[in-house]
Structure 1
Amino acid sequence: MISYSDLSIVLPAKNEEAGLSLILPLLMTECSGAEIIVVDDASTDNTAGIALGYGVRCVSHKYSKGNGAAIKTGIREATRKIVLFMDADGQHRPEDIPRLLAKLNDGFDMVVGARTRKSQAGAHRAMANGLYNRLASWMVEQRVDDLTSGFRIANLAKVKRFVYLLPNGFSYPTTLTMSFFRAGYSVAYEPIIAPERIGKSHIKILRDGTRFLLIIFKIGTLYSPLKLFLPISLSFFVTGFGYYMYTFISQHRFTNMSALLFITSVLIFLIGLISEQISMLNYKESESE
């Protein structure tokens, strides 16, 4: 049975003195015995001072590296067998941690706090998250309720297998979720309500939204390349066949364009097969670490 004494809590923080002032005393009360690590990503306010004032571990970056880099620092610094990630801006409530921990005790490898519709998020962000969830669900062939939630608890040893894949920006939840699914680990979701954040968000919708999509395709091609290559190959084949039927009926001949489309279809399929074999080698290496 996993308890708070087995838990390391990692909070990436950049200019989050207001949020930490609120969340740290609640964490220390709710999760007595847990290791709390604040990773200060070169804040210009008193983030580090607030953390040290409450007596928790504080690791400071010499310069700003990004939210994902702060998470990776926290992973390397964690000393307990279970790690919990949460934001330092007040969007993740310490009182939800027992429910995540209880579900992890049911035998899951990672439990993610899935934000409900009552959570404070703009309409554009909710629509984007819905698109990401559906796309990721198709890629990993499992239901993904909240791809981008940073509130999650997992087995530290298994998280460490994918540290080298995590980006330095805001896309680490996307990478970690899809990596766990494609590696065959058990992932569960626990509904949570995320209040409005304290302070200003560091996420840029257009820039980071594009990065999220690129991460989904990156991890998809890393663990299941045929999920991308096969539909593209089929689209070229169907287009080539349709064009061939048109030219055969109208001109009674097989054109160079039809041949090019058929050849392209075969080449893309073969590249997908090779990529699938390479991805199996990558999976084998991550398992042996």
Structure 2
Amino acid sequence: MRVSVVLPAKNESGAIEQTISKILNLKLVDEVLVVNDGSTDNTAELAERAGAKVVSHPYSKGNGAAIKTGARNALGDIIVFMDADGQHDPADIPKLLEKINSGYDLVVGARQKGSQASLGRGIANKLYNNLASYMTEHKVEDLTSGFRAARADKFREFIYLLPNGFSYPTTSTMAFFRAGYSICYIPIHARQRIGKSHIQPLRDGIRFFLIIFKIATLYSPLKMFLPLAVLLFLMGSGWYGYTLYEYHRFTNMSALFYTGSITIFLMGLISEQITALMYKES
């Protein structure tokens, strides 16, 4: 099977040539496709000089948009996605391909302890992994890793779900789980990136909460809403028991708890049906 490597790149002139050279030296890849996401430096020229095919966006659309462009234009039966900033080691590509060839549909490089990441991002990733493991009932070792290999035809099934921002790994992983495709993880070590990061703490702090809800809605919303509904129901019953014993009456607070419980449960039920329709075969 043919193998394509997709590198989303925005102002990565410091690392792009080195990354492409290492990939081509493996002699395992049929195509290196660099998606130049509106770079203002000479990223595109350096990538072409290093031997990559370049597709350019006229302006920056986001990491996820670059991934989608790469998936649409890649010629390979297997697509390897990785960062162009030097964090991911091309020497790990054979490990990904070995798992794909053994029957897996998606193989993710799971960053091990000590890989380059801030304390805040490390804590957030841990929470992501635990929540995704709860939702899918499978061990999720690294939900947000951008170093992954996938069967091209299966990955393209979910292009319409992928956001244009940085959370495409979360979305694609949960979509593969939901569709019942086979997923596995291999250990990798992410190095310090070359150049300036495009991550912004405030913006990505907000994104953290959005990803939490996206994990739920992409897999099984009811598993997220049902515990909240049960909690409110128990709080309402507890408060009703207290007021009945002390004042011999049913209070507005108990009514509020019960109403909230029913509303959240119904929202989860409706969301579950909508999610099922998202994955319905055409």
Question: What band does the TM-score fall into relative to the shorter chain?
Answer: over 0.9
**What runs of 5+ residues in structure 2 fail to find an aligned partner?**
none
Asked whether the 8 Å contact 1:221–1:227 carries over to 2, the reply is: no
Return the match for 2:268 from 255, 269, 272: 272
Find out whether 1:149 has 2:145 as its counterpart.
yes
Runs of 4+ in 1 over 3 A off after TM superposition: none
User: How far did 1:55 drift?
Assistant: 2.8
Return the match for 1:215 from 178, 186, 211: 211
Asked whether the 8 Å contact 2:23–2:29 carries over to 1, the reply is: no
User: How far did 1:28 drift?
Assistant: 0.8
Number of the residue aligned with 2:34: 38
SS at match of 1:118: coil
Distance 1:8 1:275, change over 3 A: same
Number of the residue aligned with 2:225: 229
Aligned-pair identity (%)? 61
Distance 1:33 1:218, change over 3 A: closer
For residues 119 and 219 of structure 1, the distance between their equivalents in structure 2, rounded to whole angstroms, comes to 24
Alignment deviations for residues 76-117 of structure 1 (CA, whole Å, 9 cap, x no partner): 111111111000011111111001111112211100000111
Q: Give the aligned length.
A: 282
Number of the residue aligned with 1:120: 116
Number of the residue aligned with 2:241: 245
Return the match for 1:134 from 130, 133, 145: 130
Q: Given the two structures, how large is their TM-score scaled by the length of structure 1?
A: 0.93
Alignment of 1:1-289 (within 5 A): 2=1, 6-284=2-280, 287-288=281-282
Q: Which amino acid aligns with 1:92?
A: H
User: How far did 1:270 drift?
Assistant: 2.3
Asked whether the 8 Å contact 2:132–2:215 carries over to 1, the reply is: no
Asked whether the 8 Å contact 2:82–2:148 carries over to 1, the reply is: yes
User: How far did 1:33 drift?
Assistant: 4.3
Q: Given the two structures, how large is their TM-score scaled by the length of structure 2?
A: 0.95
SS at match of 2:107: strand
For residues 139 and 262 of structure 2, the distance between their equivalents in structure 1, rounded to whole angstroms, comes to 31
User: How far did 1:267 drift?
Assistant: 2.8
Q: Which amino acid aligns with 1:105?
A: N
**What runs of 5+ residues in structure 1 fail to find an aligned partner?**
none
Distance 1:269 1:220, change over 3 A: same
Distance 1:49 1:224, change over 3 A: same
Q: Which amino acid aligns with 1:113?
A: G
SS at match of 2:228: helix
For residues 46 and 38 of structure 1, the distance between their equivalents in structure 2, rounded to whole angstroms, comes to 13
Asked whether the 8 Å contact 1:170–1:208 carries over to 2, the reply is: no
SS at match of 1:18: coil
Asked whether the 8 Å contact 1:174–1:216 carries over to 2, the reply is: no
